[in-house]
Structure 1
Amino acid sequence: MPVNTSASGADTTAPAISAASVAALTEVRLDWRHKAVPATASGTTHTGFVASGHTLADLQTPLLTLDAGAIRGNADRLASWCWEHGVLLAPHGKTTMAPQLWAEQLNRGAWGITLANFAQLRVARQFGVRRLQLANSLTDPHAIEWVAAHTSAEEPILSWVDSAGTVEVLNRTLASGQAVLDVLVELGAPGGRTGARSVEEAVAVARAIADSKHLRLVGVSGYEGSLAHTADDAGLAAVRGYLAQMRLLHERLHAEGLYGAESVIVTAGGSAYFDDVVSVLAPCIVEQSDGGPRVDVMIRSGAYIIHDDGFYRGISPFSRDGGDPFRAGMHGWARVVSQPEPGLAILDAGKRDLPFDEGLPRPQLIGPVLGGAMEPLTGAEITSVNDQHCFMTFDAESTSVRPGDVVRLGLSHPCTAFDKWTIIPVLADTNGDQSVADLIHTFF
């Protein structure tokens, strides 16, 4: 897999992220700003906290933890899969906004990091991420000017364009300078999110890009995940039909000679349908030759490195194919603060602590103390969440739940889990060795 090519095709072996900037996070001093850190550790550095041999038992609820083994395994798995299939990976960094985890992905050969907005681009550049993709259109003049000042052949920032109006905004903002931005034309679909709504509209946008002295067309982009939410026949048919239109768009642009680079990218693929993306778009892959540009297919899966016990567990290709699925790399921990009536317990974690938009947390285990022995919690259900509380129902005749008990929760959707925590403890093994192996810093 070609992991060291820039958008222009130039080979580069420079570090994909600043190791020094990432390492500096270990010197951050912990205090009251970090709700995952116990009060007794205030004033300790990240390094000092981890070196002190803390375990899950030293932490407090509500809590989100990560699983070191699951994260390593998931990262290795998709990196190997991309290599085997000859495709690039530019993980969507907005899932975690954690440079330490970006480094894990980049060090395994990822092309670069994908992000969603201007603020996220600035975080990535601060940590020395060299190759960036903005999976969005630049329409804010401040963002356009910043990207123009921070992109180069050695440190590219790619962005998407889906309308002639966006081309006009870019041209107007860049009119007084000499900057040329690398962009991909985005294909959408009726009922989808962004993107030109037809191949013909996208071709028209590509022609406007080709006519601009400030823009260079370097590929085709899209997002299939907004068109389906299931892995049944109807959902997969919608995804595959859309991807076929992306392929057609690429072929049209290539035939018209609208690409302005020696190396172009066709990119789609979140964490739910990346296998279909590669299956449908693989014919686009072309080695560079005298007859035209090199063409790479790039997926942008981001949630895979954490995975979950909900949405992605049910829809991920590795779950659907009957093989070895990704492992859930995050769990929630909450304490019973009230048991006000039979069959109802109120937990001390809520919307401010745990994700709930792709399914409510799922009770898995219960025990009298955090970090102690726990038993399966069968038949229990989280029925609703408030800002700081969960409502858990259970069978009062067969299950004993008391104030102070700790519940481990399976979670759904890592994209809305990480944003609630500035620091997240990493356990060596959630199901075994519960020592704190690291702390992950986030920048939302």
Structure 2
Amino acid sequence: MNTSLSGGHAEAPIAADAVARLNAVGLDWRHKAVPATAAGLTAGDFLGTAPRLADFQTPLLTLDAGALRGNADRLASWCGEHGVLLAPHGKTTMAPQLWAEQLSRGAWGITVATFAQLRVAREFGVRRLQLANSLTDPHAIEWVAGTASAEMPILSWVDSTGTVDVIDRTLEAIGSTAVLDVLVELGGTGGRTGARGVDAVLDVARAVSASGHLRLVGVSGYEGSLAHAADADSLAAVRAYLGSMKELHGKLLSEGLYGADTSIIITAGGSAYFDDVVDVLASCITAGTAEGGPAVELMIRSGAYIIHDDGFYRGISPFSRDGGTPFAAGMHGWARVVSQPEPGLAILDAGKRDLPVDKGLPRPQLIGSALGGPMTPLTGAQITAVNDQHSYMAFDAGTTTVRPGDVVRLGLSHPCTAFDKWTLIPVLADTDRDQTVVDLIHTFF
């Protein structure tokens, strides 16, 4: 089978009709973002009433249409300029509507992390999928074997000979003749998954080559688990790891361990170090040779970029570090003061069940007397602690007046743990200038 994993395809990258059907979803009490007055309407009918931020209640998470559009355009353009593929990590949003926006800008496909996420993506007709994980669950192995095809590929990773054995035994037991496309994963000391060291990965690749059910189509890795800052030591650790990926690729070529008649994909790069990935690994890219040498593509998997934030990614993103124009924060939290029990302390009605806290606490930005009304900067205030349903906001009682019922806009950190708290997220035309709700984003966690 002569298969190009990176070439174009005639079919749509996602099923537009499946995405469009989300407008027919009925709204009710299960959607905590939706006002009670919307109950009984479909999402499309509700949007037809031209709702505004003021029609909603707190706590609330909103997105900004301009920021999402600008961020998606920005990275798509950057990837085009650098000649690299983009397979956005869909687990960030688990929102097919946003996947469609990314795919419409030329993304290769969508990356996911779990079997459940694979099923969501395929339900919405995503044609090209990458599982950034190993297949070890027999049910998942059987499903991928029965679902993947040359026209609708599913790539997965392997990081041990044990994984190779599990896949072989599972497919042999059901009499399957399927051949699954896999990438060998290089890990790093203290990191997450991935065989530790080039030699260990070569052993895995040899096992793949000997398997009747697997075909090696690339090298994978995740540098983001090895560093969490942009200082010199962190960047050096990232680049050293990427250098090992490059070394591994060279040895796989020299041993002839890649599958025959296929293009090769080298993939790394979350939303924090994608520039370093391209800087170190771009020299591996080749269009192939007349003598039959394989084409090699470089793929990044940034996921958080389309949303970005006012916290972790704002500080670490390459576009924030290089002195250029950073991505725009595309999400905000809104919370109401439910108690002002002592001077300098306000209790807000949004907690860990509503807003992300794992990469930094929410940051008070603005305050006003009503959601959707005029707001003023909230200088010097900070969130000091967060419970399940409440946040503690400290402020200077001598300079700032805070009353029960006031609404606070919050800057947030880490989109991955913001989206999973909401099944429906309103999108504002412009958070600062036009708070008309122009879309409702459905998530599937």
**How is 1:237-256 mapped onto 2 (pairs within 5 angstroms)?**
237-256=236-255
Asked whether 1:409 is paired with 2:406, we answer no
The amino acid that maps onto 1:316 is S
Conserved 8 A contact 1:7-1:218: no
Match of 1:132 in 2: 129
- 1:267-288 CA deviation, whole Å, 9 max, x = no partner? 0000000000000000110102
Asked whether 1:99 is paired with 2:116, we answer no
- C-alpha distance in structure 1 between counterparts of 2:48 and 2:229, whole Å: 44
Asked whether 1:174 is paired with 2:175, we answer no
**TM-score for the superposition, normalised by structure 1:** 0.98
**How is 1:336-415 mapped onto 2 (pairs within 5 angstroms)?**
336-415=337-416
Shift of 1:9: 5.1
Provide runs of 4+ in structure 1 moved above 4 Å: none
Shift of 1:36: 0.3
Conserved 8 A contact 2:6-2:297: no
Conserved 8 A contact 1:331-1:410: yes
**How is 1:13-28 mapped onto 2 (pairs within 5 angstroms)?**
13-28=10-25
Conserved 8 A contact 1:6-1:154: no
The amino acid that maps onto 1:272 is A
Task: Name the CA shift for 1:9/1:389 in 2 (closer, same or farther; >3 Å).
Answer: closer
Match of 1:213 in 2: 212
Match of 1:236 in 2: 235
- C-alpha distance in structure 2 between counterparts of 1:126 and 1:296, whole Å: 27
Shift of 1:389: 0.2
Match of 1:263 in 2: 263
Which has the larger displacement, 395-404 or 9-18? 9-18
Match of 2:107 in 1: 110
- 1:62-117 CA deviation, whole Å, 9 max, x = no partner? 00000000000000000000000000000000000000000000000000000000
Q: Residue 427 of structure 2 aligns to a residue in which SS? A: strand
- 1:201-246 CA deviation, whole Å, 9 max, x = no partner? 0011000000001000000000000000000000000000000000
Q: Residue 434 of structure 2 aligns to a residue in which SS? A: coil
The amino acid that maps onto 1:189 is G
Q: Residue 133 of structure 2 aligns to a residue in which SS? A: strand
The amino acid that maps onto 2:189 is P
The share of aligned pairs that are identical, in percent, is 75
Conserved 8 A contact 1:188-1:197: yes
Conserved 8 A contact 2:134-2:158: yes
Q: Which runs of 5+ in 2 are unaligned?
A: none
Shift of 1:7: 4.8
- C-alpha distance in structure 1 between counterparts of 2:256 and 2:430, whole Å: 53
- C-alpha distance in structure 2 between counterparts of 1:309 and 1:334, whole Å: 16
The amino acid that maps onto 2:102 is Q
Q: Residue 247 of structure 2 aligns to a residue in which SS? A: helix
Shift of 1:53: 1.1
Alignment equivalent of 2:36, drawn from 15, 35, 39: 39
Q: Residue 103 of structure 1 aligns to a residue in which SS? A: helix
Asked whether 1:52 is paired with 2:49, we answer yes
Match of 2:435 in 1: 434
Q: Residue 190 of structure 2 aligns to a residue in which SS? A: coil
Match of 2:329 in 1: 328
The amino acid that maps onto 2:240 is G
- 1:344-381 CA deviation, whole Å, 9 max, x = no partner? 00000000000000000000000000000000001000
- C-alpha distance in structure 2 between counterparts of 1:29 and 1:152, whole Å: 34
- C-alpha distance in structure 2 between counterparts of 1:413 and 1:168, whole Å: 36
Match of 1:288 in 2: 288
How many matched pairs? Answer: 440
Match of 2:425 in 1: 424
- C-alpha distance in structure 1 between counterparts of 2:153 and 2:54, whole Å: 45
Task: Name the CA shift for 1:174/1:379 in 2 (closer, same or farther; >3 Å).
Answer: same
Asked whether 1:198 is paired with 2:197, we answer yes
- C-alpha distance in structure 2 between counterparts of 1:426 and 1:36, whole Å: 11
Conserved 8 A contact 2:344-2:395: yes
Alignment equivalent of 1:141, drawn from 130, 134, 138: 138
Conserved 8 A contact 2:351-2:387: yes
Calculate the aligned-residue CA RMSD, in Å: 1.0
Shift of 1:292: 1.2
The amino acid that maps onto 2:149 is S
Shift of 1:12: 1.6
The amino acid that maps onto 1:224 is E
Match of 1:156 in 2: 153
- C-alpha distance in structure 1 between counterparts of 2:7 and 2:82, whole Å: 22
